[in-house]
A = this chain, B = another copy of it.
Amino acid sequence: MLGLMQDWPLLIHRLIDHAAIQHPRRAVVSRSVEGPIHRTDYATLRTRALQLAKRLTMEGVVEGDRVATLAWNTWRHFEAWYAISGIGAVYHTVNPRLFSEQIAWIMNHAESRLALVDLTFVPLMEQLAEQLPYIRRFVVLTDAANMPETSLRNAVPYETWLAEADADYAWHSVDERTAAGLCYTSGTTGDPKGVLYSHRSNVLHAMTINTADMAALTARDIVMPVVPMFHANGWILPFAAPLAGASLVLPGAKLDGASVHELLESEGVTFSAAVPTIWMMLLQHLRASGGQLSTLNRVGIGGSACPPALIDAYQREYGVRLLHAWGMTEMSPLGTWSFIKPEVAHLEGQALLDLQSTQGLPTFGVEIRITDDAGTALPWDGKVFGRLKVRGPAVTSAYFKAEGAPILDAEGFFDTGDVATIDPNGYMQITDRSKDVIKSGGEWISSIAIENLAVGHPDVAEAAVVAIPHPKWDERPLLLVVPKQGTNPTKASILDYLSDKIAKFWMPDDVLVVESLPHTATGKLLKTKIREMVRDHQVG
C-alpha cells in the first residue's frame, strides 16, 4: 500500500524556484572574467535560466543531450547549470586544467554538442576544436563588446545569443532520476571516467550539506565557493546556497590570495570552501599584508589532507574554523565532515587538532565501512585500516557508458580506492590509496604514513614509499628520498630516525637517495612512474 503524499519529484529547478520566491533579492556577486564585479540576484538569475533554457531548446538541445562548460565560477556558469538541467539535458563540466589530450578525450566521450566557454579558455578550445567533431557551436561566455576574434565553429557571444530567446519557458518535467550533470574523474592511470549525477542525487545532496552538522548554510550566510564548479560538482554549493537562500559570491578566474581576500572582505563572506592550497596561499597573503578576516567564520576544506598547522593557524590567528571534509567526484562529492560529537566535545589543544585533522564522519545519507580484500568488515578501533567503501543516494553506481561494468560490491558499496581507519567514535582517517598500500605478510602498511614520517628527518626534502616484491612477505616497503639542498642523508641515518617511530615490520627494506621524484600535473607523487623506476631494484 502506497502512502498518500504528494508526488513532488526532487528536480533541480525547484531549488532556484525556491530561492527566487523566498529570497528573490538575495545577492549573487561575481568577479567577471572580463574584470568588473557583477551583481545580480536569485529572481533575476531564475529568469535568465528560463531564457537560457528556451535558447538551448531553439538550438536543438533536447533531453539527455550533454552541454559542455569550460568556465570559472560566475553567474553565467551558475545559471547555465539550472537552464541545462531544466530542459532535461546534462551540464558537463570540463576541467580546463587537465592535459589537452584528456580534455579532448573527455569531450568526445561525453559527445557534448554545445560548449559554453569562458574567455580564458578560447585559445585552448581553438587549439582543440579540430579534434572535437561533436561540438556544433562554441558559445563564448561574454557580451558582444568583449567578444574576441576567434576561429571557433559557429562562435557567438553568450549575451547576444541568449537575447534571441525570451524567458517564456516552463521547466521540462522529468523523472527525478533523470541525468542532470556529468563530471569526469582523471586518475593517474587509465582513461577518465564519467560520473552521471541525477536530479534526485543533487537535490538530496544539497539538503544533506545544509543539515546542521555539515555546512549548515542559512539565509544569513554569504557563501563563496572558491572550489571551481568544474571540480567534483562544485562541491554541491551551487545547489545548496539557493536551497538555503544564502547569498553567493563567485570568484571568477582570480583565485590568488590577494583576490580571494579582497572578495572575502568586500562582500562580507561568512562561509567558503576550497582545497588546502587555496587556504595556504591566503594565509601567506594575510601574513604578508597584515590583512584580517572580519566576517568569515567557517570554511569547508577538502580535496587533499589539510595540514594540522593550517587548521591551527586559522583558528588561532583569525578565529576561522577550517572544517575538514572528504569526498570524491563519485560521491556528489561529500562523504564525511569533521564535526564535533559529544564524545569528543571535551578535547582541547593538540588532541582537538588531531581530531579536526581526520576526515570526520558521515551524516545521514552516506554509509561508510572498511573491509579487507575479501570484503570482510574491519573493526572501528582507529588502528586497523582497510578499503574504504561507501553507499548512498548520491554515490555513483556505474560510470558513464560503462554501465555494464560492476563497480559495487554484493551489498551495493562502492570501493573508493582509499584505505582508511575509523576510530571508535566513527572518525575516519585516510591512510593511503589502496593501490599504494604495501601488503606484507597479510598486514597492510601505509605508504603515506612512512612518507610523512620520513620528511621529518632533517635532511629529507621529499619522500616516496612504494611496494617491492618479496618472496616471503609478498611485498615490502621501499623508501625513496630527495635530500634537502646541501645535505647528504644516508640509508643508515634515515632508518635510525624511523626506528623508534614505526612498528618493526613497517621499516623499509631499503632506502634510495634520489635527485628528484616524478609528479602528476596537479603535483601529486606519480607512483606508477616510481614503481617503474625501481622495478629492477635489488634490496641491498
A2–B198 touching, CB < 8 Å: yes
0/1 string, A1-45, CB within 8 A of B gives 1: 111111110100011001001110110000000000000000000
A530 at the interface (CB under 8 A from B): no
- Chain A 411-434 residues near chain B, CB threshold 8 A: 412, 414, 426
Distance (whole angstroms) from the CB of A329 to the closest CB of chain B: 12
Chain A residues close to B by CB (< 8 Å): 1-8, 10, 14-15, 18, 21-23, 25-26, 63-64, 90, 175, 177-180, 195-201, 204, 207-208, 210-213, 216-220, 243-245, 247, 332, 339-343, 345, 361-365, 367, 391-400, 403, 408, 412, 414, 426
Q: Name the residue on B nearest A213 (C-beta).
A: B218
Distance (whole angstroms) from the CB of A14 to the closest CB of chain B: 8
A3–B199 touching, CB < 8 Å: yes
**Provided the pairs A201-B5, A392-B6 are in contact, do residues A364 and B15 lie with their beta carbons within 8 angstroms?**
yes
A18–B364 touching, CB < 8 Å: yes
Residues of B within 8 A of A21 (CB): 367, 426
Distance (whole angstroms) from the CB of A30 to the closest CB of chain B: 19
Residues of B within 8 A of A393 (CB): 5-6, 8, 10
Residues of B within 8 A of A2 (CB): 175, 177-179, 198
Picked from B5, B198, B397, the residue with its CB within 8 Å of the CB of A197 is B5
What are 28 contact pairs spanning A and B, CB under 8 A? Answer: A2-B175, A2-B178, A2-B198, A3-B177, A3-B197, A4-B195, A4-B198, A4-B396, A4-B400, A5-B198, A5-B201, A6-B393, A6-B408, A6-B412, A8-B395, A18-B367, A21-B367, A22-B361, A23-B426, A26-B342, A207-B208, A207-B364, A207-B365, A211-B216, A211-B243, A212-B244, A219-B342, A247-B342
The A interface, classified by DSSP as helix, strand, loop or mixed, is loop
Distance (whole angstroms) from the CB of A65 to the closest CB of chain B: 9
Residues of B within 8 A of A340 (CB): 219-220
A197 to B397, CA, bound (A): 29
Distance (whole angstroms) from the CB of A528 to the closest CB of chain B: 27
B211–A6 touching, CB < 8 Å: no
B398–A4 touching, CB < 8 Å: yes
A217 to B200, CA, bound (A): 23
- The residue in A179, A216, A364 that gathers the most chain B C-beta atoms within 10 A of its C-beta is A364
Q: Name the residue on B nearest A362 (C-beta).
A: B22
Q: Name the residue on B nearest A88 (C-beta).
A: B1
A36 to B218, CA, bound (A): 40
Please give 7 more A-B residue pairs, beta carbons under 8 A apart, in addition to A8-B393, A211-B211, A220-B340: A1-B179, A2-B179, A4-B397, A6-B397, A14-B364, A26-B342, A220-B341
A102 to B217, CA, bound (A): 44
